[in-house]
Amino acid sequence: MASAAGAEGRRFDNINLLRAFAALSVVVYHVIEHGRWKDYPTDGPVSVFRLGWYGVDLFFVISGFVIAYSALLLYRADPGSFRGSYWMRRLTRILPLYLLTLFLYLILFTPRWDAREWALQLSSHLTFTHSIWGKTHGAIDPPNWSLAVEMHFYLAIALAIRWIDRAPAWKILAYGIPIAWAFRAAIFYRYGGGETGLLFVKVSQMPGVLDEFAAGIFLAKLVLDGRRQWFAHAWPWIGTAVAMGYVAMGLYWPYADYWPHANMVTFWRTPFALFLMCVVGSAIALSQGIADRWLRPVNYLGETSYGIYLWHMFAVEIIVRRLGWIELPALLAVLAVTIALSALSWHAFEKPLMRRARASKSLA
């Protein structure tokens, strides 16, 4: 990630390695699903990409950490100017590429909507409310539904920053987890047993994913307010991640169909979030030179992962759906096109706009 604002900010380059893995997992998963790649391996290391949906969960935990960490630094540096600085940073990072890909997707893959449908889709996507309803969820550049959820989280951070600043780390989890459980239980009571897609849409909103964001905020609080020995050694984090991963996936596999089971929908995301929290904690505790020196190409993919996430369905739409490529040739082509588009947009569009916005803010 970029260095956080403020004199106390630290770089956590290893987070970019996790971002790269999350983004590429989503890309591979979508090639498998949209290309109906039935022969994709079901065992061995690469079989993990059959569960590539976890990339979004990992992004949520990472966002919980990164956004809370940078927001707390801004708030503690100057509470009076916090909201202006916070929203300037968030919107200049999210909006330009979101709007560019949104309208390009509409131009290239123009849907057959009537005037009322166009008004509904555009208004919901421009107000980041499109993730809430099944009709608008994923209707334009499908992966961007999660950006609406992210934006709702940004709003929650802005509103609750004073409490987050004062609350001990454990209280973040103690509040976030039961709120997420209550929401998911209520959603299952209302929509369980019906259409799986609609249940997914409704349960994947804030505060239904609050336990994942809270896991990241917990880490941010430990880094800023905890004792240094929390991250002095990586092995405790790695060991706990292995144990939590074993528990979470041990609970998952007997009920891998997931959506018919109230207990899975209500509770399972929490042990999985705690596993991902320990994975991110391991990345924080390990030497940052792993990303900065030894895995620089992967670090770069993590730096451009936002573009990878938003551009990859353009490549899937053209290469898989329209040209009919399948399996490994399709995957390699989608990855090549996606990485090229994300690199181009990062250097020619996203980065220059962010620099200009922050320079104008500093001169104001």
Does residue 338 form part of some domain? yes
Distance of CA 107 to the CA centre of its chain: 26
Asked if residue 221 lies in contact with residue 71, where contact means CB atoms within 8 angstroms, the answer is no
Is residue 246 in a domain? no
DSSP single-letter state for residue 114? -
Give pLDDT, residue 229: 83
**How far is CA 278 from each of CA 40, 240, 243, 275, rounded to the nearest angstrom?**
29, 7, 10, 5
What domain count does the chain have?
1
- The 10 Å Cβ neighbour count of residue 322 is 10
**Residue type present at position 299:** N
- Answer whether residue 245 is part of any domain: no
The model carries a pTM of 0.95
Q: Is 136 inside a domain boundary?
A: yes
- pLDDT at 7 (0 to 100): 34
**What is the DSSP secondary-structure string of 21-44?**
HHHHHHHHHHHHHHTT-TTS-SSS
In eight-state DSSP terms, residue 207 is T
Q: What is the pLDDT of residues 97-129, one digit of tens each?
A: 999 999 999 999 999 999 999 999 999 999 999
Domain encompassing residue 348: 14-236+286-363
Taking only the tens place, the pLDDT of each residue in 170-228 is 999 999 999 999 999 999 999 999 999 999 999 999 999 999 999 999 999 999 998 77
Q: Is residue 241 part of a domain?
A: no
Residue 251 in domain: no
For residue 3, being part of any structural domain is answered with no
Contact 326, 38 (CB under 8 A): no
pLDDT at res. 361 = 61
- Alpha-carbon distance of 275 to 240, in angstroms, equals 8
Rounded distance, CA 264 to CA 184, Å? Answer: 10
In a domain, 267, yes or no: no
Contact yes or no for 281/243 (Cβ under 8 A): no
pLDDT at residue number 226: 83
Q: What is the mean pLDDT of each run of 10 residues along the chain (364 residues)?
A: 45 96 97 94 91 96 98 96 94 96 97 96 98 96 97 98 97 98 98 94 97 98 88 96 98 96 98 98 96 94 98 98 96 98 97 81 52
Cβ-proximal residues to 9 (8 Å cutoff; 6+ apart), any chain = 3, 70, 73
How far apart CA 168 and CA 164 sit, in angstroms, is 8
**pLDDT given at position 5:** 36
pLDDT for the residue 176:
98
Identify the three-state secondary structure at position 134. coil
